């Protein structure tokens, strides 16, 4: 796999592309007194122009409580079928911005919040990436397996994809 570190706007575009493609990432927060991270899958609402990733969560969730005490988070996105992966470490902020809640609200959320978008437990979780690393190929799994076999035989790793840091 060839290394290609990406900077600035190109890095932001790559991060947004992967997050939008995969949608659901595992957010890992750090609970008080636990030596292991607490991970939950969450669907992103948007990646804003600064590269912040927005989610909707509940004030009653362990993730919310963990972030109140420690804003460090790690987020992992994986699409094994297309061999696309993203690892993010950053900080999280919690808010109750009603305008954003209104913008992000959809029918799926009604199952999570009994009182609708006015539910007092609705919170926004904003992850600001501090570091990110991606693994990506432009092919599906069958083509990737063939390219890996070819790379093993020829020594040419350029064909099996790219990986690198996203310097936002």
pLDDT at residue 162, as a whole number: 85
In whole angstroms, give the CA distance from residue 24 to residue 17: 13
Q: Which CATH superfamily hosts domain 2-167?
A: Electron Transport, Fmn-binding Protein; Chain A (2.30.110.10)
- pTM assigned to the model: 0.86
Look at the block and give the residue holding tokens 């297309």.
82
Q: Per-residue DSSP letters for 11-63?
A: HHHHHHHHHHHH-EEEEEEE-TT-SSEEEEEEE--EE-TTS-EEEEEETTSHH
Cα 70 to Cα 29, 67, 90, distances in angstroms: 8, 5, 11
Q: Dump pLDDT digits (tens) for 54-68.
A: 999 999 999 999 999
Question: How much of the chain is helix, strand and coil, in % rounded to 5?
Answer: 35, 40, 25
Q: Dump pLDDT digits (tens) for 30-43.
A: 999 999 999 999 99
Cα 164 to Cα 31, 36, 161, distances in angstroms: 29, 26, 10
Say how many C-beta atoms besides its own lie within 10 A of residue 10's C-beta: 12
Residues of the chain where predicted confidence (pLDDT) is lower than 70: 1, 138-160
pLDDT at residue 31, as a whole number: 94
pLDDT at residue 139, as a whole number: 53
Query: What's the start-to-end Cα distance of the chain, in Å?
Result: 22
């Amino acid at each position: 796999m060839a290394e290609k570190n990406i900077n600035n706007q190109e890095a932001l575009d790559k991060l947004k592309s992967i997050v939008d493609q995969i949608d659901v990432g595992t957010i890992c927060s750090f609970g008080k007194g636990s030596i292991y991270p607490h991970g939950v899958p969450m669907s992103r609402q948007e990646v804003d122009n600064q590269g912040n990733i927005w989610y909707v969560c509940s004030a009653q969730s362990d993730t919310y409580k963990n972030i109140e005490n420690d804003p460090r988070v790690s987020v992992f996105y994986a699409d094994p079928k297309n061999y696309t992966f993203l690892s993010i470490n950053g900080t999280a902020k919690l808010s109750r911005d009603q305008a954003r809640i209104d913008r992000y609200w959809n029918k799926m959320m009604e199952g999570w919040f009994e009182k609708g978008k006015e539910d007092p437990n609705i919170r926004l979780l904003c992850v600001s990436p501090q570091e990110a690393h991606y693994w990506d190929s432009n092919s599906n799994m069958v083509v990737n397996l063939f390219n890996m076999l070819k790379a093993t035989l020829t020594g040419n790793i350029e064909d099996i994809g790219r990986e690198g840091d996203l310097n936002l």
